[in-house]
Structure 1
């Protein structure tokens, strides 16, 4: 099916991210530097993943949650020799700095710095990402979220494994004064420029949740499907009791799914199976293959292949690669 309304540049960038390589400017995402001797213990206690087992050069995705395990943001952490660098959603940067600051007590050796404005960040997305870096003289690491400092045309650059999606790629962080130079070089050697509109389409197709749409006060990380961000063995952290209880008693009643639709429906629209209301649409996008959405659907309503109705439109539940609804092996 060909949909004429999608921007051709966006379509080309999405195709490149899947088949070759695209570059997306993530400089507007938040970058928070956490330093001080207690930084790993502090982050360990404030989010879902196991920071105290991590060494410099490693990293992880983690979720910041409320005391009742409602989602605040999905962040990526890069462990450096002297600090932890957090990449957070654009609309959660200031909130998270204030929220984290509340939990720093007098004896804690922890400092928070917002380095968003002084740095730039790009993500290379797609199977040819490694080849692009090799063109720049870099032999990058391969373990997910692992990171290392490299010199790219005399610019000190942190390169981390991971595109921010369930597609191969790398994220580059470096001083903002070199932003145009590095962007132009990446495009010159073959990366296809990806605009915000194309990223939004791709992240919906991939199932990456974002604050105020999928990550809200209404849902916890298990309902979202962010199992890979949660340590069930690390002990106490904010929201841990609720998450542990949901896991132990298999208490997840709602799941985030992808939905293929035959027409547009407004986010927030109710999802029905026959006459029964089973959930709500959170995001939707138009692609060259039709409409794709994300939505929360009651777990007992059905999974992949289930037919649904949203605002008089027909739809079908599909898998999305960024998340999982599998309980981890005990």
Structure 2
């Protein structure tokens, strides 16, 4: 059985929906940002927190856990700057509780959901796993701390792990059953789509004078189903002992500008956005694009969905689940 912590959240719920096709799954989520309704009913569900040792002990006692997949992090950059304690408490301290419980119950396979925020503001256009990690906010720092903890645990306790650093998760499951529902919403594609549904008066483009093709920032967007497939490949590689410890970027390798994303949203929805161009935001690099060559070479994974496919799936979800 596979334990998925944070499996009621956006990315975790999409992973669970794919994972239950081949594995027995138990989901642990405190529902602070996740939704019980997103968890497929074929998975077992436990409401609780990874910071609660009693809950963890109960799960590891009742179920024969083969591996743990960790999505239960706080992930808002701005909030992490204002409330770093929350991020170090949940993302680092509570993860230590989880890892310590795994070691005590002799569970040694771990998939960690990490982030491009560990790189900070790199000085390269295409980021690969050898790019220096220099996070600039507590969120990115907390993720990098866990990555370093995993290396130490691997050396000391023979923990096997895969770290997946992904860039901008987007889109919704093609079934239309589950999708992206954050409050507050900070991701570009749902912000645009909610605007096109009439929920906001306008959308903003922060900076139009970057050294890019159209002057707006370029980011790497990846369909959440592509993320799920990468996690499953990584899990199977661990269970089959093909990988002991590795770190992989997950991205499309291309990158799309803010203006390009807005235009594609307009084309998919057949609606016109009210766009306000404004000043740059502090700390926004012009281009953040991932190289996923390593995971392709080692596990055979690459992104399948392009920007239009991502937005089409997201529009199906948002138009059916208007807030």
Provide the TM-score with structure 2 as the length reference.
0.29
Provide the TM-score with structure 1 as the length reference.
0.28
Q: Which has the larger radius of gyration?
A: 1
Q: Which has the higher helix share?
A: 2
